[in-house]
């Protein structure tokens, strides 16, 4: 990767930079999925379209965080090794700023984030009151501390019959209160120039009451796809599957069994971070483990007859395209102890679908596939457009937030434009957005 050296040939007098905002992207993997990086770049693309200059600053001799150097759809930007501000104010965009860009802190898990040194130098160069840090938090994960404890126990394998007793024990032993304090700490709610954005499908009132400094918004849409038009029948149909969970390999044979014998035939193109040695080769299956260019993947994704997606970014992309999709974010445990991994995104979407009048059979199929149940049956009904799938339509998501909070990207642009003013102060802008989000 090439960077501009940024070296100066000697001391020189500089006039003060003009009013405006330099936007620094701080992409990193926080939760384990590559969607953390794509979300930061999506924010950068939106701000670039609004006219703000985008910068990737990394100190000399320091490599980028893992996977950042992969093939991504970057906005137009400068890559620099030294800070030379073009404007008087700056905005940084990071995933979970309190984890990825916060400085070292005393106590457990107090090591600095991978972008801590750069964030600190940006503040030192521009002045802390002139730097607004945007923290993009996990999509649709807006649980209060009690609900988060219940979800932690469920995903950890606690059976439903033991859940009530375990929750009471967690409250009694102070675990819920400890989680609440740690959550506020690692979301940097105490930093007045950090804007923590919690994008979601619908607001959580209990989350807002427990964490009043959090700003809930609508999704940060990819803005990469046009809605798919009606596709004609062809001899060759294709499904694409973004199969990042390791357990995708476990359900793959049942997906292929559901597709077997269909006419016209359906080819399955799988994008996976790992090979699938347990799945027998098939002329109708391609497992792509090598990195793909953003343009190549976008073409496959946009022109597929159906998309199997995971996490948050590909789910939003599927909604943006508008065609039928299935969702699988992984399962843990064997047999009756099997449980879903991070199901809150699909659960929230299915609840919206129920309220919007999506056929109950279609909602049930989406829910079962996400649980790893009835895979073959769901696949066959979907492929044949039966059992409710013949009435598929892209249900418009209701606006659950007032503008500009209905779209996370609009909040970013609003904050950047406010920051660009000559007399603006980052802490006042953050405080005002927090106040408006609660009203």
Q: What is the pLDDT of residues 10-46, one digit of tens each?
A: 344 456 677 799 999 999 999 778 899 999 999 999 9
Contact 416, 50 (CB under 8 A): yes
User: So what's the pLDDT on residue 216?
Assistant: 98
**Residue 400 token pair:** 């659950």
Q: Is the pLDDT of residue 320 over 60?
A: yes
Q: Whole-angstrom Cα distance, residue 345 to residue 215?
A: 18
Contact 134, 97 (CB under 8 A): yes
User: So what's the pLDDT on residue 110?
Assistant: 86
Per-residue H/E/C for 1-70:
CCCECCCCCCCCCCCCCCCCEEEEECCCCCCCCCHHHHHHHHHHHHHHHCCCCEEEECCCCCCCCCCCCC
Mean pLDDT of the chain: 91
**What percent of the chain has pLDDT above 90?**
81
Q: Whole-angstrom Cα distance, residue 236 to residue 198?
A: 41
Whether pTM > 0.75 for this model: the answer is yes
| Tokens 């457009």, residue located | 385
Torsion angle of alpha carbons 115, 120, 122, 124, nearest 10°? -170
The string of pLDDT tens digits covering residues 1-10 is 323 333 333 3
Q: Which CATH entry fits the domain spanning 237-391: 1.10.3470, 1.25.10, 3.40.50, 2.60.40?
A: 3.40.50
Q: How confident is the model at residue 293 (pLDDT cuts 50, 70, 90)?
A: very high
- Over residues 365-393, mean pLDDT: 94
User: So what's the pLDDT on residue 439?
Assistant: 81
Q: Whole-angstrom Cα distance, residue 95 to residue 281?
A: 38
Per domain, the residue ranges of the chain are 19-137+187-219+399-439, 237-391
Task: Report CA Rg, the chain.
Answer: 23
């Amino acid at each position: 990767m090439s960077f501009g050296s940024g070296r100066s040939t000697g001391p020189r007098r500089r006039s003060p930079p003009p009013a405006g905002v330099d936007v620094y992207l701080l992409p990193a993997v926080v939760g384990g999925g590559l969607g953390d990086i794509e979300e930061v770049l999506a924010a950068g693309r939106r701000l670039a379209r609004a006219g703000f200059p985008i910068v990737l600053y990394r100190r000399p001799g320091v490599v980028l965080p893992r996977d950042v150097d992969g093939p991504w759809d970057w906005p137009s930007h400068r890559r620099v090794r030294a800070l030379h501000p073009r404007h008087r104010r700056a905005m940084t965009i990071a995933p979970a700023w309190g984890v990825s860009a916060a400085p070292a802190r005393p106590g457990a898990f107090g090591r600095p984030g991978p972008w801590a040194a750069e964030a600190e130098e940006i503040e030192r160069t521009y002045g802390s009151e002139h730097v607004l840090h945007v923290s993009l938090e996990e999509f649709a994960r807006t649980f209060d501390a009690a609900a988060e404890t219940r979800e932690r126990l469920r995903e950890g394998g606690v059976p439903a019959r033991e859940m009530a007793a375990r929750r009471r024990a967690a409250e009694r032993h102070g675990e819920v209160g400890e989680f609440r304090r740690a959550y506020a700490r690692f979301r940097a709610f105490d930093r007045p120039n950090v804007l923590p954005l919690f994008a979601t499908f619908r607001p959580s009132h209990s989350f807002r009451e427990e964490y009043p400094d959090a700003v809930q918004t609508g999704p940060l849409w990819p803005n990469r796809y046009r809605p798919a038009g009606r596709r004609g029948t062809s001899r060759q149909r294709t499904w694409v599957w973004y199969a990042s969970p390791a357990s995708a390999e476990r359900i793959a044979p049942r997906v292929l069994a559901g597709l077997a014998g269909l006419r016209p035939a359906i080819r399955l193109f799988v994008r996976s971070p790992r090979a699938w040695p347990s799945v027998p080769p098939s002329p109708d299956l391609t497992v792509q483990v090598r990195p793909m260019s953003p343009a190549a993947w976008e073409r496959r994704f946009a022109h597929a007859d159906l998309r199997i997606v995971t996490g948050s970014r590909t789910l939003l992309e599927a909604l943006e395209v508008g065609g039928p999709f299935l969702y699988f974010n992984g399962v843990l445990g064997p047999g009756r102890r099997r449980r879903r991994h991070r199901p809150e995104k699909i659960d929230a979407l299915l609840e919206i679908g129920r309220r919007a009048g999506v056929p109950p059979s279609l909602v049930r199929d989406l829910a079962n596939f996400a649980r790893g149940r009835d895979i073959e049956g769901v696949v066959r009904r979907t492929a044949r457009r039966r059992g409710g799938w013949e009435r598929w339509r892209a249900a418009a998501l209701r606006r659950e937030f007032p503008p500009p909070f209905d779209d996370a990207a609009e909040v970013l642009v609003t904050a950047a434009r406010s920051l660009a003013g000559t007399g603006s102060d980052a802490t006042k802008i953050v405080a005002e957005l927090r106040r408006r989000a609660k009203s």
